[in-house]
Structure 1
């Protein structure tokens, strides 16, 4: 079986692509091949953006670009126009499409200084609905070995090997000394080719599915996250751990989309209400996926429109889970999903909550398709210190994958978090390039009104070009925070609690650190950092500081800052 990237073929893919995908994935003899499906070509030689249906990288054989045509009829007119099924006639035929994609990919690899000497780089067209090898006439525009058809699907590996072998022989006969020492790439160079091409196509949507991929904003993975997705594909259950900013929520959302793309149904649950709402909005059009918070799902299954007015800790931790279990027992089997994905598992891993989660997925936590994402170092501001131990006792067969590369924060923000959050070993690798702007740490005296400082900070950020909607003010305090209680006229006019709605033009959002966990903003101002303010203070500092992607300002009480940095302030 070849290594398929991505590991699934979307439901929306044409039938021919699905057939070729299955033919290459499910047969022996291609164990060393890597097959890239739907390779987006941003630097296409002819179009603004193009796509290669399949790119096969085979060690000691070459690189083959395949254009797939699913049509049940194929004809070439005397005027040179192609007529494929019911599609309008076109002069730009499938062989030209494949050739342009091949040249674009080769040029891109060369621009990245990938060694391609003696590597056959070939193109072909696979007509999956017709016997094209027998019916297409000879033409100077293509070689007979560049044609694959429906008869090749049962023996896909042999068919591809035939194309690569005859294509390499053609190049050797026309290019002096080509392949004189054998055909490449070797295994190491094949891996480099895959690693170079892979970021060109593996994308995640901020909203929608693959059909909207070219209409929305794209976000690239880092190589560590590719390996994480591979781990999710190779194991029945996986626990992904890592500090803030390593892309856990990003991966949880992409994993959910991949599960649904393979025809499964299930849930993506988290702990934080604002994060649950954000994920729900981004994944709202994914049919077969239920997204929300653990407590919202419990309320739904308990047939409750909301919590009682006097809901206390006992209600959330004992009463509601029991009611939800009773409600689940009365529901149909359709409530039990094919998969379960949980973000912020560090805040959810209690025996009571795990009893509930165990019944949401076929096979339960022990044997079901379960993907968990959590930060057990500093972000467990709701859960217990035993969260990981409890989870392991209930799901002992979860494979482990640790994420370490910071994908959210600029490096200088990450290094500041290392210092004030006492992270060991702390953030060391960052995806984003530094812009040379240090985070700002401002001391204040306990009891001092921070409003004037906050107003100046916001003004400076606006002068730098940040819109009010890009700035968020966070605090470990709720009603007594500087943002919630200020009497400053301008601040009172622009400040607005961060709720489920999107940022409003001209408004400056504020929230507690607790409620903003799992989210981020371009510019974050953390106020009221005073270690006399309550429990889990160090964890709150860590969570608050890591919310900023580009600009971080922290207002820290003088004695607290001295303690955090471990010296005189």
Structure 2
């Protein structure tokens, strides 16, 4: 009877169960930030500022939910297309809330389906905003938003025409009478040349005198072990006052050396290790380069040369292929996050490319490294430091 009643048991979690548990914990940590909304509830105009992972996007979407419950016609917007898709996932479908990236919104206002082929920089920064503003001036009912929430505000702060557009979308041409909630991180200005960097809050404050500055400094996203490693890599503090994620949660930053120029082999080694802990759809491969020049893009564009490349073709997400591991440029993935990130193309060519664009390499690294929530892997070229 003792042998029947007393046995040895071993409890194990499947990868799916671990992922569900992580998601549940993440939402609880983000939910704890809602107290910030309660403290600022009586302010019509609020600016949330903080480093990556402090829940700024969550505060934007929860603000939109509150405005929706008050039956306010609400716009949630940003510049980044992929970020707009993410915001759509959280608040899209609410009866009083529209979600859009600002470029698509302006195209819709002027009645054309897409940007002109090979459109110059002037089109995005001057001509398109001016035309959209003119339409709103003649037809203010096309805007008429009672609440406007802008995420990644640092992307638009340097262009006063975009700020004029935001006010025009309220149908008033000025902030009075419209609820405004902005969120930004001045260190993530990688869409703008270094000599064009601005103080996003100061610009917004100059136009909205009663704008309330709320600093969020508690890390709600990244495991402390990874955060410490990122700070060590960047040789600077990220600005957190405390971590809501428990120190016991596993994760961190590691490197895989590229030996004899075998980038594909290094990427395979990194991904195989990450797949032991995370589902393929929770992993993203990032590069400073756009699709054609990135490591993943180059590998998928050419015939397979090795067994490693054949394996990668089965894992990387591409139209017509079964893979689920996403690969993006750092610029496109800004504002988003993933359980695990592999950072590729860290050699001299990428640094020269970033310098030629008059961008700051350390800022790009900051954005790239802080996309990861649990694990980040750097593919390290021979004799090249991060």
TM-score by length of 2: 0.81
Q: Deviations over 1:228-259 (max 9, x none)?
A: 20243121101110001111111101100101
1:559 shift after superposition: 5.5
Task: Give the 5 Å matches for 1:381-530.
Answer: 381-383=190-192, 384-388=196-200, 389-424=202-237, 426-434=239-247, 435-444=249-258, 448-462=261-275, 464-478=276-290, 479-486=292-299, 487=304, 488-496=309-317, 506-530=323-347
Q: Which runs of 5+ in 1 are unaligned?
A: 1-215, 565-569
Alpha-carbon contact 2:54-2:217 (below 8 Å) kept: yes
The structure carrying a bigger helix percent of its residues is: 2
Partner secondary structure for residue 243 of structure 2: coil
The whole-number CA distance in structure 1 between the counterparts of 2:25 and 2:273 is 29
> Hey, what does 2:121 align to over in structure 1?
313
Q: CA RMSD in A?
A: 2.5
Change (3 A) 1:425 1:410: closer
Is 2:106 the partner of 1:292?
A: no
Aligned to 2:8: none
SS in 1 for 2:317: strand
Specify which of 357, 360, 363 is matched with residue 166 of structure 2: 357
2:16 — aligned with what?
none
- TM-score, normalised to structure 1, is 0.56
- The structure whose residues are more often strand, as a share, is 1
Deviation at 1:471, TM superposition (A): 1.1
For 1:118-197, list aligned pairs within 5 A.
Answer: none
Supply the distance in 2 between the matched residues of 1:369 and 1:544 (Cα, whole angstroms).
32
Higher RCO, Cα 8 Å, sep 6+: 2
Secondary structure of the structure 1 residue equivalent to 2:169: coil
Residues in 2 aligned to 1:352 and 1:375: alpha-carbon distance in whole angstroms? 20
How far off its partner does 1:334 sit?
5.4
Answering whether residue 63 of structure 2 is matched by residue 255 of structure 1, we say yes
- Counterpart Cα distance in 2 of 1:549 and 1:316: 32
Does the residue aligned with 1:427 lie in a helix, a strand or coil?
Answer: coil
1:261-303 superposed Cα distances (whole Å, 9 cap, x missing partner): 0111120101111010121233222011110111111111111
CA contact 1:239–1:401 (8 Å) conserved in 2:
yes
Q: Name structure 2 gaps, 5 residues minimum.
A: 1-23
Q: Point out the structure with max Rg over C-alpha.
A: 1
Q: What CA distance in whole angstroms lies between the structure 2 residues aligned with 1:509 and 1:292?
A: 22
